[in-house]
Structure 1
Amino acid sequence: MKVVRKYGKASGQCINFDKSSLLFGKRINVTMRQELKDVLGIQNEGGMGTYLGIPEDISGSKCKLFAFLKDKLMHRVNGWTDRWLSKGGKEVMIKSILLGLPTYVMSTFLLPLEICENLASAISQFWWSSNPPKRGIHWAKWEKVCLPREEGGIDFRMIHEFNLALLAKQLWRLVQFPDSLVARVLRGRYYRLSSPLRANTFTSPSYVWTNIYAARKLLLLGIRQKIHSGYEVKLWEDPWVPTTPARPAIPIAPAMHLNMRVSDLIDQVSKEWDIGL
């Protein structure tokens, strides 16, 4: 409450407690919930609505949770004006509206494959049908339609791949801006002594972190690491040897020091490689 009052005094914006709600975890008992309500002055419990278009409560079946995306898309597709669009008009509508509808949700959550397939199926049916909602003849696979124009496609987005790209962007921001609030919160929980790209597996991680970390493999395919002094580069794990592609060092005998860094191979006085080592 001290933080809330300080925020209101600094910004001139007061929080409406009548319109606010609290979201409790399952382990919070009834007595503790009521105590928190009394202290904060907020009596409403949330979790059933949406905030900025995203469900407040993300527990339970994820397919049921994100089914609203297909409903929103079908509402657009089944509009009476859409059936009179030319192929060019449909292309513009798909790229600018239909594929943009789930973008905000996909930038935070990894949609189940079933939801991605449902969205792709609805868009594909809209593209091929001349009289929605009747099904038209699909003259080519959707994967081929999504290819770049120079490869014979129409350059539509593959929804699952685009979802991973958005999550990789979030993971990259954690690397680029380690002092941001969200980076500091996640670092304290998941990668306190390493980087977001080297975080260890955790028991019961949050759904958001699981989704963001799912893009790690994709991100590692497109980035390179600056060696600098080699202090943060692991000798046996990180790809620092400049082959094509880069690779970690390969021990001839069993590696005795598993946590060796590249900096350990450098003489700190002469700044030359320690050839003997």
Structure 2
Amino acid sequence: MKVVRTYGKASSQCNNFDKSSLLFGKRIPANDRQQIKDTLGIQNEGGMGSYLGIPEDISGSKCKLFAFLKEKLLHRVKGWTGRWLSKGGKEVFIKSILLALPTYVMSSFLLLLEICVNLASAIAQFWWSSNPPKRGIHWAKWEKICAPREEGGIGFRLIHEFNLALLAKQLWRLVQFPDSLVAGVLRGKYYRLSSPLRTGAVDTPSYIWTSIIAARKLLLLGIRSKVHSGYEINVWEDPWIPSTPARPARARVPVVNPKMTVCSLIDFESKN
């Protein structure tokens, strides 16, 4: 309650406990739940609604959980604004509206391939159909349509690849801003003595963390560790050699010290 009151004073907002709700984990006993409710003065339990367009409860089947994305997309496609568009109008409509609909969700969660395929299928059907909602003839593969213009495509986004790019951006923020609030929370739970780029297996990770880590391989293809002192760079694991893409050192003989850092390779007198 002290935290809640402090937040109210800092934000100049009055907390309405009648409209507030509590979300409990499955392992919280009923007696503890009721005691927390009575202490806070909040009797409503949440978890079934949504916040900023994202479901509050992320447990259960992810296909059912994110099925609303396709429903929203089909609702836009079936609207009167999309029925009599030219090919140029459809291109603008797809790029500015349809492909932008799931962006906010994809910036935090990794969508299953099945969901990405369903979304791409709905967009492709809209693109090829001359009289929606009737199905038109698909004259080319969707991957070819999504290729850049200089390669003969139109430049539509591949949904799964774009999803990974958005998640890689979130992972890069954890690296660039380690003192941020979200980085502090995730570091305390998942990589307390390490880096978000070098985390190992984690017991019962959240879906958000699983999603962010799924983009680590993609991020490592485009970054390189600056040596500086070299105390924090692992010789055999971190991409510090400036090739394209950057890579760690490769051992010609069996590695004796797998935890060796780059500083042990530096002659501090000559700086070589």
TM range (shorter): over 0.9
- How has the CA–CA distance of structure 1 residues 229 and 271 changed in structure 2, closer, same or farther, with 3 Å as cutoff? farther
Tell me how far 1:258 sits from its aligned partner: 2.0
Q: Which amino acid aligns with 1:138?
A: H
2: CA distance, partners of 1:41 / 1:5: 13
1: CA distance, partners of 2:103 / 2:250: 42
- How has the CA–CA distance of structure 1 residues 250 and 75 changed in structure 2, closer, same or farther, with 3 Å as cutoff? closer
**Residue 66 (1) aligns with residue 66 (2):** yes
Please show how residues 266-277 of structure 1 align to structure 2 within 5 Å. 266-268=266-268, 270=269, 272=271
Q: Which amino acid aligns with 1:260?
A: M
In the other structure, the counterpart of 2:54 is 54
Tell me how far 1:153 sits from its aligned partner: 0.7
In the other structure, the counterpart of 1:89 is 89
SS at match of 1:197: coil
1:119-169 deviations in whole A, cap 9, x for unaligned?
Answer: 000000001101111001111111011011111111101000000000000
1: CA distance, partners of 2:125 / 2:55: 27
Q: Which amino acid aligns with 2:71?
A: D
**Residue 33 (1) aligns with residue 33 (2):** yes
TM-score (norm 1): 0.94
2: CA distance, partners of 1:169 / 1:242: 22
Deviates more, 1:163-172 or 1:72-81: 72-81
1:66-122 deviations in whole A, cap 9, x for unaligned?
Answer: 000000000110113321111111111101111111000000000111110000000
In the other structure, the counterpart of 2:98 is 98
Answer whether contact 2:234 2:260 (CA < 8 A) is retained: yes
In the other structure, the counterpart of 2:116 is 116
In the other structure, the counterpart of 2:10 is 10
Tell me how far 1:256 sits from its aligned partner: 2.5
SS at match of 1:224: coil
**What is the RMSD computed on CA atoms of the aligned residues?**
1.4
Alignment coverage as a number of residue pairs: 272
**Residue 261 (1) aligns with residue 261 (2):** yes
Answer whether contact 2:223 2:246 (CA < 8 A) is retained: no
The unaligned stretches of length 5 or more in structure 1 are: none
2: CA distance, partners of 1:215 / 1:197: 10
2: CA distance, partners of 1:173 / 1:106: 16
Deviates more, 1:11-20 or 1:160-169: 11-20
The unaligned stretches of length 5 or more in structure 2 are: none
